[in-house]
Amino acid sequence: MTVKAQKFASLLEQVCTRNIGPAAAAVDANGEFPYRSIDALKTAGLMGAVSAREAGGLGLGFGAAAAIVRRVAQECGSTAMVLCMHYCGAAVLEAYAPLQVRHEAAAGDHLSTLAFSEEGSRSHFWAPASTAQAAGAEVILNARKSWITSASAASAYVWSSKPLSAAGLSTLWLVPARAPGIEIVGRFDGLGLRGNDSSPVAARDVRIPAAAMLGEDGKGFEIMMGTVLPMFNLLSAACAVGLMEAAVGRTAEHAARVRHGDTGAALADLPTIRNYIARMRVKADMARTLLEDTAAALEGVREDSMLRVLECKAAAGEAADEVLGLAMRVCGGAAFRGEVGVERYFRDARAASVMAPTTDVLYDFIGKAVCGMEVF
């Protein structure tokens, strides 16, 4: 590990143990946005992990970003997903936004996120139904976005619409979260990732400068697949792996600690229980290994990198459902009553397979790739 990497690993460890971990239970119980945890990450300079050094960021690669999200998820899934979405938005800003915005995102003064999912297109984020209409030097946006992580805390959204006039499926925009006509429609009250603030957002005749276009008109799909998908799939998988790892640790600790009064044996003395814990560990390690190989494939620009990008999120989503289901079974009634702490991870982990691209859609894409068919 380089000296720079060591410094940030130790800062991350401090933030996780002093700030993010202690706040996690209340974030979940109250469904409150993890402002303090994000502030601590900002103070440590970690909001700029994927931003280039010329913009004041750390210029870290895919592997380091995944390691950060994975470590944060071990403490708090909500904070990890807010960070994941910020890194995804920042990757788009790095490629297409002015230097000033890139500086703000790297410093954490600008919290970024993605506004792709819509009431009409649901999880088919690549085909927005929302519109953009030219009005002189401005553009008028109308949309019914269905989910935006950090909806009320974000500074601006990386936003998709139908193209203005070019051919193509979509165009991307940088839309200030407090622009007149933006309305956050209700408070997020989800099963898991409860501090995520993933509320629906409506846009009614929102005016933004035409210069707020990110990339070219009609090229949103290419940016979604080329820039966002690799980062999002990798970091969503990292989040799921972190949740699994935390659950394996808590489950093993519980199984070693609690005893049956009649036999005097610990739960872990039962072969069935050890078998379940072994399966949890194997699945979590398989998902982590694929995650690390995906980061290596992306950094090495390997030929199989897109296949790995598709695989790592599907594998981590499936594994997370299985591993957290086993954690609930091993920890039994104590877990059901929320006494072991694995039930929060169980709920948080459910998001991995329904966040777009969903596991079902990923299997369809992977099947097409393996059968030599066109994927997108």
Ligand X SMILES: Cc1cc2nc3c(=O)[nH]c(=O)nc-3n(C[C@H](O)[C@H](O)[C@H](O)COP(=O)(O)OP(=O)(O)OC[C@H]3O[C@@H](n4cnc5c(N)ncnc54)[C@H](O)[C@@H]3O)c2cc1C
Applying CB under 6 A, does 155 fall inside the site for ligand X? Answer: no
8 or 125: CB nearest ligand X = 125
51 or 149: CB nearest ligand X = 149
Q: How far apart are the first and last CA of the chain?
A: 38
Task: List, in sequence order, every residue forming a beta bridge with 201; answer none if it has no partner.
Answer: 145, 184
One residue of 85, 111, 314, 319 binding ligand X per CB under 6 A:
85
- Between CA 236 and CA 234 the distance in angstroms is 6
- Between CA 326 and CA 332 the distance in angstroms is 10
Q: What is the CA radius of gyration of the chain?
A: 21
Which range touches ligand X (CB under 6 A), out of 97-105, 144-152, 174-182, 279-287?
144-152
- Between CA 35 and CA 27 the distance in angstroms is 9
Angle at 64 between CA 63 and CA 69, to 5 degrees: 100
- Between CA 242 and CA 72 the distance in angstroms is 7
Applying CB under 6 A, does 196 fall inside the site for ligand X? Answer: yes
Are 170 and 221 in contact by the 8 Å Cβ rule? The answer is yes
Applying CB under 6 A, does 236 fall inside the site for ligand X? Answer: no
Applying CB under 6 A, does 358 fall inside the site for ligand X? Answer: yes
139 or 172: CB nearest ligand X = 172
Which range touches ligand X (CB under 6 A), out of 62-70, 117-125, 250-258, 286-294?
117-125
One residue of 109, 299, 304, 360 binding ligand X per CB under 6 A:
360
113 or 227: CB nearest ligand X = 113
How many residues bind to ligand X according to rule CB under 6 A?
24
Backbone angles phi, psi at 191, to 5 degrees: -65, -45
Are 106 and 224 in contact by the 8 Å Cβ rule? The answer is no
Which range touches ligand X (CB under 6 A), out of 54-62, 178-186, 220-228, 349-357?
349-357
141 or 297: CB nearest ligand X = 141
Applying CB under 6 A, does 113 fall inside the site for ligand X? Answer: yes
Applying CB under 6 A, does 134 fall inside the site for ligand X? Answer: no
Are 108 and 55 in contact by the 8 Å Cβ rule? The answer is no
48, 52, 55, 57: CA torsion to nearest 10 = 30
Distances (CA, A) of 25 to 74, 193, 351: 12, 11, 18
CB 74, min distance to ligand X, A: 18
Applying CB under 6 A, does 364 fall inside the site for ligand X? Answer: yes
246 or 277: CB nearest ligand X = 246
Rule CB under 6 A: which residues touch ligand X?
85, 113-117, 122-123, 125, 147-149, 190, 193, 196, 198, 351, 354-356, 358, 360-361, 364
